[in-house]
Structure 1
Amino acid sequence: MAPPEDVSEQEFDYEALPANYGLGPSMLAGAFAGIAEHSVMYPVDLMKTRMQILHPSSGGLYTGISNAFSTIYRAEGLATLWKGVSSVIIGAGPAHAVYFGTYEVVKELAGGNVDDGHHPVAAALSGSAATIASDALMNPFDVIKQRMQVHGSVHKSIAQCAKTLYRTEGLQAFYVSYPTTLCMTVPFTATQFVAYESISKIMNPKSQYDPMTHCIAGGLAGAVAAGLTTPLDVVKTLLQTRGLAKNEEIRSAKGLFNAAAIIKRQFGWAGFVRGMRPRIIATMPSTAICWTSYEMAKAYFKNNQKSME
């Protein structure tokens, strides 16, 4: 009779995917997670963008979440909260597929799957590599999304917005915020991945598939990372919406340091924390949804593979 299978091996099997598992399922799980995350929380993301825009002509300078919601609902209708969501859905699937595919590959190479111990360095490294790769794909879609989110936007579709943006501001408009995005998302993702894996190890030391653990750990990790990186997110929003500003200084913003100097000069230190509350409110459930969806999809593919063996 064959010896009983070691329980610790079963538990570890879930977190550390075997060599024959393949990259495809991880990418499919990531795409599913990305679409679920961004679609559900999109209205809050739109309000965050509106609150961060520092030029009133484009619907900026709301006093809070409730003010933003009531103003948008009263003046533009409830459907406005979903304007531009198609850009996120189209971009989030491939971008998150690359994101989690890169995460799994780099985590394996960095030794994060060597045993069932805690590997914060491997988590931070794999998270950073994942965001660099995925943001290169997602940045143009994020620019289009924010251009469609602003008050009074005339863009009706992704294609029309992309063509107009390319014709009036050139190809650089799609990537002018990319360095700033990386300056924000690399520490955001590194912090989030370390926090997620650390909280998961505390809540679920046996590394079993547990949706509640993934949900809580993902939400808390996202909240911490979102709060710390809000100033860079404000700078990114200014760069991505600069073409809509009537203020000439904002329209001519060149990059991270120039945009930060403009914010400090025109709005003071308070300008760097605009939209922090909706950013945290949006990020907590979105990262909870993302990690829960990803772990669920990963567990599904793993169980499906076992049933076929």
Structure 2
Amino acid sequence: MDEDDNPYETLGVSTTMSTHMLAGAAAGVMEHSVMYPVDCVKTRMQSLVPDPKADYRSVADALNKIVRNEGIRNTVRGFSAMAFGAGPAHALYFACYEKMKLILSDGKQGNHFAHGFAGCTATLLHDAIMNPADVVKQRMQMYGSPYQSTFLCFREILHTEGIKAFYRSYTTQLTMNIPFHSLQFITYEVMQDLLNQQRNYDPTSHIVAGSVAGAVAAGVTMPLDVCKTLLNTQEHCARTHLTYISGMSSAFRTIYEFCGVAGFFRGLSARVIYQMPSTAISWSVYEFFKYAIHKKRQQVPDDVYIGPTVHIATATAR
């Protein structure tokens, strides 16, 4: 099929950067908002030595115990930090991805190297904004967190640990997110080859492919996500006789010391359960808003849908 006969993946060429940023911001906020309670569970399940009252057997068990013993509000502690960071982080991510992809591929489709490199570049911007938000969010999510509000948590970290505390996990997060997004994209394309070879607009195939891609990427990069949580929360300091754990190698050694190899996969089920729907939500919302905004500006006929050019972006892991 000629490129002109299949307009499905040509939207990115004609849409503006503001369209990508607005759609990306909406996708980021919606993705994290819907899945936030599961993200809270993931953070707690990654604890090295959990409090007996916060030692959960499964995601369902964790949600049940948190709601029953702490109240439903504790499942969304730190939400404002996420909301504050996710909007601009995803706006820059999608805008940068679309721009870099267009430059590197020269407007042509099927250049996977261009897509992968553009995704890596976009990740640098996304994580630069999202990393401080993750630090505050995850400290608020931990069981028995002493912080009364997001602002007080931010102020306390800044006062006692300095600005560097917000970027201790930055290199680890990049080490995780760059292969995460690359693997996610590759898996998505493989699934599309199986389910939607013509690359027509098919919501079912996109959602299924995105979910599988999110699950595969989440599983493979799980050890790095545990390290990121450890660097953000610093929950182990009193037990390791170190002022702070800083750097990926120190995080790996600490996790192995306390939990062995199994420690690198604590909270795996929660992360996979989080990533599968969040990937689908992120894609669906982004494409919907991108299409709606573009249609309004360009007056695209109702029977023409020009589909996705960005297949997924998560930050949570989050």
Distance 2:246 2:141 in 1: 22
Distance 2:32 2:137 in 1: 11
Q: Per the alignment, do residues 260 and 158 of structure 1 end up closer, same or farther by CA in structure 2, a change over 3 Å counting?
A: same
State whether residues 209 and 299 of structure 1, in contact with CA within 8 Å, keep that contact through their aligned partners in structure 2.
no
Give the equivalent residue in structure 2 for 1:153. 145
Match of 2:213 among 207, 221, 225: 221
State whether residues 82 and 133 of structure 2, in contact with CA within 8 Å, keep that contact through their aligned partners in structure 1.
yes
State whether residues 33 and 289 of structure 1, in contact with CA within 8 Å, keep that contact through their aligned partners in structure 2.
yes
Q: Which amino acid aligns with 1:197?
A: E
* Unaligned ranges ≥5, structure 2: 302-318
1:36-60 Cα offsets, whole Å, 9 max, x none, are 1100000111000000011335976
Q: Could you say what secondary structure the match of 2:11 adopts?
A: coil
Distance 1:168 1:304 in 2: 49
After TM superposition, the score normalised by the length of structure 1 is: 0.90
The Cα shift of 1:201 comes to 4.3
Q: Which amino acid aligns with 2:104?
A: A
Q: Could you say what secondary structure the match of 1:162 adopts?
A: helix
Equivalent residues in 2 for 1:10-159, closer than 5 Å = 11-12=6-7, 14-17=8-11, 19-57=13-51, 61-111=55-105, 113-115=107-109, 118-159=110-151
Distance 2:293 2:202 in 1: 16
State whether residues 231 and 245 of structure 2, in contact with CA within 8 Å, keep that contact through their aligned partners in structure 1.
yes
The Cα shift of 1:18 comes to 5.6
The Cα shift of 1:20 comes to 4.6
State whether residues 54 and 61 of structure 1, in contact with CA within 8 Å, keep that contact through their aligned partners in structure 2.
no
Q: Per the alignment, do residues 59 and 48 of structure 1 end up closer, same or farther by CA in structure 2, a change over 3 Å counting?
A: farther
The Cα shift of 1:295 comes to 1.4
Q: Could you say what secondary structure the match of 1:141 adopts?
A: helix
Distance 2:58 2:300 in 1: 53
Distance 1:174 1:143 in 2: 6
Q: Which amino acid aligns with 1:142?
A: D
Give the equivalent residue in structure 2 for 1:241. 233
* Unaligned ranges ≥5, structure 1: 1-5
Give the number of equivalent residue pairs. 301
Q: Per the alignment, do residues 306 and 278 of structure 1 end up closer, same or farther by CA in structure 2, a change over 3 Å counting?
A: same
The Cα shift of 1:119 comes to 3.0
Distance 1:215 1:163 in 2: 40
**Once superposed, what is the RMSD of the aligned Cα atoms?**
2.3
State whether residues 88 and 145 of structure 1, in contact with CA within 8 Å, keep that contact through their aligned partners in structure 2.
yes
Q: Which amino acid aligns with 2:103?
A: L
Point out which structure has higher relative CO (alpha carbons under 8 A, 6+ apart): 2
The Cα shift of 1:151 comes to 0.9
The Cα shift of 1:61 comes to 4.4
State whether residues 95 and 138 of structure 1, in contact with CA within 8 Å, keep that contact through their aligned partners in structure 2.
yes
Instruction: Give structure 1 regions of 4+ aligned residues with deviation exceeding 6 angstroms.
Output: none
The Cα shift of 1:190 comes to 1.1
1:250-297 Cα offsets, whole Å, 9 max, x none, are 753121001101111221100001011110000000001001111111
Q: Could you say what secondary structure the match of 2:199 adopts?
A: coil
Task: Give percent identity, aligned residues only.
Answer: 43
State whether residues 36 and 75 of structure 2, in contact with CA within 8 Å, keep that contact through their aligned partners in structure 1.
yes
1:77-134 Cα offsets, whole Å, 9 max, x none, are 122111111111111110000111111111112217403xx33322221221111111
Bigger shift: residues 70-79 or 299-308: 299-308
The Cα shift of 1:68 comes to 1.8
Q: Per the alignment, do residues 235 and 192 of structure 1 end up closer, same or farther by CA in structure 2, a change over 3 Å counting?
A: same
The Cα shift of 1:245 comes to 4.7
Q: Which amino acid aligns with 1:36?
A: M
Q: Which amino acid aligns with 1:69?
A: L
Q: Per the alignment, do residues 306 and 62 of structure 1 end up closer, same or farther by CA in structure 2, a change over 3 Å counting?
A: same
Q: Per the alignment, do residues 113 and 194 of structure 1 end up closer, same or farther by CA in structure 2, a change over 3 Å counting?
A: farther
Q: Per the alignment, do residues 60 and 242 of structure 1 end up closer, same or farther by CA in structure 2, a change over 3 Å counting?
A: farther
Match of 1:262 among 251, 254, 259: 254
Match of 1:9 among 4, 16, 20: 4
The Cα shift of 1:73 comes to 2.0
State whether residues 131 and 166 of structure 2, in contact with CA within 8 Å, keep that contact through their aligned partners in structure 1.
yes
Distance 1:119 1:198 in 2: 14
Q: Which amino acid aligns with 1:213?
A: S
